[in-house]
Structure 1
Amino acid sequence: MTFLGVKPFESENSNTHYQCHLSESDNFAATAHVESFRTVWTRNDDDENVDPPAPVWIVGASYKRWKVTLNNNRNNDAFGVFGCEAALDGRINTSISGIFMRSDADIVPSDELISVTVNAGDTGVSIGMKSTGSKNVADFRWLKDNVRNNAISGQDTWSISGQVEVDDAGVYECHIHNERSGAKQGLKLLIVRACPANRWGPDACDGICDNCYNGGICDENSGKCICAPGFKGTNCEEACDSGTYGASCLQTCHCQSGQCDRYTGVCTGSLPGCSSGWTGTNCQECLGPPFGESCADDCHCSESYCNKVTGSCSGGCNPEWVELFSPNLCQTGIIDAAYTRKNPGVTVPVTCTAANGPSSSDINQLEFVLSRHHENLDDNGISTVEITGDATTTTTAFMVDNVTDGQTLYCQLRKDGKNMHYIA
């Protein structure tokens, strides 16, 4: 499984999320049982270490993956270490983690890398941190996996004596004295392969690894190469194709030039800037009202911020949309109403169409009715004839008796006896 963090050095950004890519075909990956988790506490209190939302299987994009959107909620909830655990029948359960830090962190890893992989038996391994400003090293305080190490307080390096063991793996944290809750500390993930260098095998480590180039690492269980961002292929010898970047070259550039840095996605080439509809440091954020994987979905927020990844609103919905489901996506509402004109007093056919919402089952939590009153339910002489639809919309056909000239009918979405939304 591959972990891909989006904006790992901008955890204060509301669009922070991560993706977990299983080394399986899409059909198998979609059936996996995948859970998200916070790997370890990185601040002091329970309400500062909230768990991430459940992963969502994303199918409406050029590649499929499990995705976890981190909700910042102005409380640095997206700061820390998060991961995925995947279970598939007949396969070894696997988990993976990644780090998210603030862009204005007081302390960062000395090599500015948020993870490092070593082999069991390696020597001379250390974790270094540095101040980004005026903070004094004398105030540095260290923890590993939320356990404090007072012996190296006031030092900028945690050195592991002797040979590295699997138990040395974990999250190394360095914060300023009495400032841990500010979420401006440095974090580093130390990954220790269970086998010595160039060996693999679940038990005896008796397999010999192929050469993994360009920063690729030999997987200790399969012997296959895990490629660093910017490269792909069996031995990680192939650079990302033009227009792609990142881990296993799975992300798409959105640049006017069609070219971007194969590691970061930052635009390169003769034409500067993002393609139409995109913005951000590496052109991965939607510009303007749209949101979603291809910026093809519309936000329906009422004077409130729209999350460009999920479409959720920080405030209420526009009047045409139902503020009902959590997260508040404002994506369920009536989008069309039609009728066939008849003479007064004759039964009239009416159809109402609604957008289902993020899940096709969302609208099933509501009553989809036709009423003679804009607020109350008055369905006297109104009968439901047929309900049809697909994954995105639902259409209900009604027959209405005794329609008078100039009368207005209202399609309504109701819940618990209350009109949530209507259209005339």
Structure 2
Amino acid sequence: MGWVDISCNLDRSFICERYQDVPEYEWSRLDGTLYYISQSSMTSYTFARRFCQAQGGDLAQPKTEEINMHLMTLAGDNSYWFGLDDINQQATFQWIDGTSLDNNVFPAWSNGDATLFESERCVHQQVNNGWRKLLCTSYLRFACEKAPSPRPILPIRIIAATSSPYGGGLLDASFICLLGSENEEILTFSTRRLVRLTEAITFDSYTAPGYSNVVPSVVLRHTLPATMEGLGFFECSSVTASRMTSVPLAILLSTRELQPIDGRFTKTVHVGDDIKLSVMSTTGMVGEDGIRWRKFTDVDWADSLIGMSSGSLSHTIQSASVSDDGVYMTYADGAVEQLPSSFIRLIVKECPYGRWNPPLCDRLCDSCYNGGVCHELSGTCICPPGFAGKNCLQACGMHRFGWDCELECGPSQPLDQCTGNQICLPDPYGCTCLAGYTGIYCNETCLVGMFGADCLQECHCTDGADCDDITGECPGDCSQGWSGAACQVPSVCPIGYFGADCNQECNCRDATACEKESGFCAEVEGICDIGYLSDSVDFPSSCIKFSGCYSSCSKTCHCSGGAEDCNFLTGDCLSSICHPRWIGDHCQTDRFETSSRKTNPGVAIFSCSFTASSGQALSPADIKAALGDFSAASWISQSSSIYIDRTLSNSFTHVNMGPEKAIYCFVGDPEIPSEFMFIRLPPRQFFALPSFNGVPELLEFGYYHAAIGWRQWDSSSDTGEGPIVGYKLYVRSGSNVVLAKEVQPPSMVNNTDRSVSKRSAENASEMVMYNVSGLEAGSTYSVQIAAIRDGINGEGEQGLALTFTTESVIHFH
């Protein structure tokens, strides 16, 4: 039975099709861009482009000889489509991102001739013969390119710990591996040696000596032999279907002659940092002249000796690089295989502080507190033992630790005691003591003013009070400039963060700071970094939404489906639907426009315009304005409205006597995100209110009146901005105002409406006078003058005071 033509309204089963995703490991990276050559799929130019777009990219654009050679190498002996054609205009070649081939210094035409096969419109790479045009419907392999996806690769929640870091060779030497809760099935949970101890490689060079037992399934205890083999760097490893994480830890012999000077087996630095690795003699019998240093990656014995540091208890690395990452052994000359050695493992973070996603390092880490360290493959915080949570702000409390504070130390626990342990976490964290302990052997409590893992965190308690060694909590208030449960949140967030706990990302243009409460990028007038938008109802002034970018990340995407909906080369939306605020080519035309007048402080006079989409009808009620948030109580009444050529423009006037707040114009219902759009007005400009610095004069007074005169406001001797439209006279008896009167000099008498007046007093020497009546005899009064500038709320500060006493009435008897 074949196809049947029936009603479209009938219910039937259906079949879908979509392009198969190409896993990222099948792509090849070059200078921060991923490239892919189809291995078996052959199709037309148009369908090849659709396939690449379905992968989040587009056809490759070999604009440089390096890229061109890279693609040819990947393709081998195969021809392929790439993103160049003259479909729009014959002989005018354009890359698929819209740029002209003429802008390129590198064309690779076959025989140098772009006119070959002039009737064809699409360009392909011919095997060993350069670029040639071909019918766009021809079937070829194809080359795609896309930006590498910064998908976070979270570490498996594994911990390595030992209560015998210096007990190698003793009967009780062991270490444990602890698993936290995971969403993925754990496929393997095991131990091994990190580096071998002998130059010769044998079948068991990387096998951890001794034996392991798992009780329960999340705890693996490895007991080491009571021999010299119980020395070295070991690791706990776990594997799921998509991830593998290992956590190294070290154990030195009890008979060691050397050990790290601070007792820690790991040091973590960033690329470019200077670092000094130092050891100490445990016996006093090892002279510095006999000290030797080796650096092992996979224990390359032949080239591992570091001659520059021989004869010293320290090895200094200046401007560390990734190649410096590894295990450093320190030993007495001639004793390298007698094993009285010391080990320090150096962890070099590829990204600078606060960044992740190497090698681009273009993502901002979560804000990590209490000694937490940013994980370079996910941007998440690896919290020190004793703290947990997204930002390591959750203190586990006495004798507790773990990814979720789920573990405890003490009798009948995996760690049978709390002192003397070294706790290790996935790179780049390394190893430290439990929270509340420090010292070479992790058996000392914190000094006054310090807390946390290794007692490295500083207390911030009022009056210098000590805080809890383990949690950092203060007995009273936090010292000035700090907040939070353990007083670790600064009043000024580090650049790049905002929020009550400084744990939201600013994403401002040029990596500038933002306001702590709102996230507003004040230094750049609210402009977000490329790829980010102000599109959060909860934080409407911030740039916390990532919407994607295109054209070498020089422009922001505005697609309805966010970053995943945007072609990273062209900016086209895969769904063909723009975010509701944007229209036009590549969704780059903002439907909002705003303008505002410079006003006196506390006054906002502004307009908001919105362009209707094709077929959309707008009414004045569709554009609203709000102060601070979008709730109905915050709406601002409109004063006028005008509709011209699909663009509706509403005007608003608002007087706010309280703190200055952001103003938003919006269309739609914030409860329906797919239809809601808004814009924040840029920071408003205000006139400086005039300040009158003159002292009023007492021209004449009697029992019940006083004639007061004063010079006019003068920009050369007074401050603020004009034009001045009048003055306010204040008369006080003590703290009580008995008269507050607006007064105009003769030259301004006709300008009674100061809300629209633009006239200024040109004759600043003209004296302004006012006769104050109704005073009490023999009473003391003070007089102050405030200048009033044009516009609503135009009254400035009151000037210096004149004090006088009216004449007293003398009673005759």
TM-score relative to the length of structure 1? 0.53
* 1:20 correspondence with 2:172: no
* 1:120 correspondence with 2:271: yes
Distance 2:208 2:417 in 1: 33
Equivalence for 2:305: 148
Equivalence for 2:314: 157
Distance 1:37 1:56 in 2: 10
**Counterpart mapping for 1:168-183 below 5 A:** 168-183=324-339
Distance 1:207 1:54 in 2: 43
Change (3 A) 1:17 1:39: same
Shift of 1:143: 0.6
Are 1:141 and 1:152, in contact at CA under 8 Å, matched by a contact in 2? yes
Are 2:166 and 2:251, in contact at CA under 8 Å, matched by a contact in 1? yes
Change (3 A) 1:245 1:34: closer
SS in 2 for 1:167: helix
Shift of 1:248: 6.6
Shift of 1:167: 1.8
Q: 1:36 aligns with which of 160, 177, 191?
A: 191
Equivalence for 1:77: 229
* 1:230 correspondence with 2:386: yes
Are 1:102 and 1:184, in contact at CA under 8 Å, matched by a contact in 2? yes
Are 1:166 and 1:193, in contact at CA under 8 Å, matched by a contact in 2? yes
Distance 2:177 2:231 in 1: 18
Shift of 1:36: 2.5
Distance 1:3 1:200 in 2: 22
Equivalence for 2:165: 8
Are 1:243 and 1:253, in contact at CA under 8 Å, matched by a contact in 2? yes
Change (3 A) 1:14 1:99: same
Equivalence for 1:136: 287
Please give the per-residue CA displacement for 1:151-190, whole angstroms capped at 9, x wherever unaligned: 32111221223x3222211101100111223322111111
Shift of 1:117: 1.2
Equivalence for 2:261: 110
Distance 1:144 1:247 in 2: 32
Letter in 2 for 1:42: L
Larger radius of gyration: 2
SS in 1 for 2:289: helix
Shift of 1:215: 2.0
Letter in 2 for 1:212: C
Please give the per-residue CA displacement for 1:78-127, whole angstroms capped at 9, x wherever unaligned: 210111333211x2333331111123421111222111111223x21221
Shift of 1:259: 9.7
Q: Percent identity?
A: 27
Change (3 A) 1:214 1:199: same
Are 1:200 and 1:208, in contact at CA under 8 Å, matched by a contact in 2? yes
Over the aligned positions, Cα root-mean-square deviation in angstroms equals 3.4
Distance 1:8 1:247 in 2: 22
Are 1:243 and 1:259, in contact at CA under 8 Å, matched by a contact in 2? no
Equivalence for 1:216: 372
SS in 2 for 1:130: strand
Letter in 1 for 2:274: G
Change (3 A) 1:128 1:144: same
Distance 1:42 1:248 in 2: 36
Change (3 A) 1:35 1:59: closer
Are 2:211 and 2:223, in contact at CA under 8 Å, matched by a contact in 1? no
Are 2:322 and 2:349, in contact at CA under 8 Å, matched by a contact in 1? yes
Count how many residue pairs are aligned between Structure 1 and Structure 2: 258
Please give the per-residue CA displacement for 1:366-405, whole angstroms capped at 9, x wherever unaligned: xxxxxxxxxxxxxxxxxxxxxxxxxxxxxxxxxxxxxxxx
Shift of 1:218: 0.6
**Counterpart mapping for 1:405-420 below 5 A:** none
Q: 2:220 aligns with which of 67, 72, 76?
A: 67
Are 1:35 and 1:54, in contact at CA under 8 Å, matched by a contact in 2? no
Are 2:170 and 2:254, in contact at CA under 8 Å, matched by a contact in 1? no
Distance 1:108 1:247 in 2: 29
Change (3 A) 1:150 1:183: same
**Counterpart mapping for 1:15-414 below 5 A:** 15-22=172-179, 24-25=181-182, 28=184, 31-43=186-198, 51-52=207-208, 58-60=214-216, 64-72=217-225, 74-89=226-241, 91-121=242-272, 123-134=273-284, 135-145=286-296, 146=299, 147-161=304-318, 163-245=319-401, 249=405, 250-254=407-411, 262-263=434-435
**Bigger RCO (CA 8 Å, 6+ sep):** 1
Are 1:200 and 1:209, in contact at CA under 8 Å, matched by a contact in 2? yes
Distance 1:254 1:246 in 2: 17
TM-score relative to the length of structure 2? 0.29
Equivalence for 2:721: none
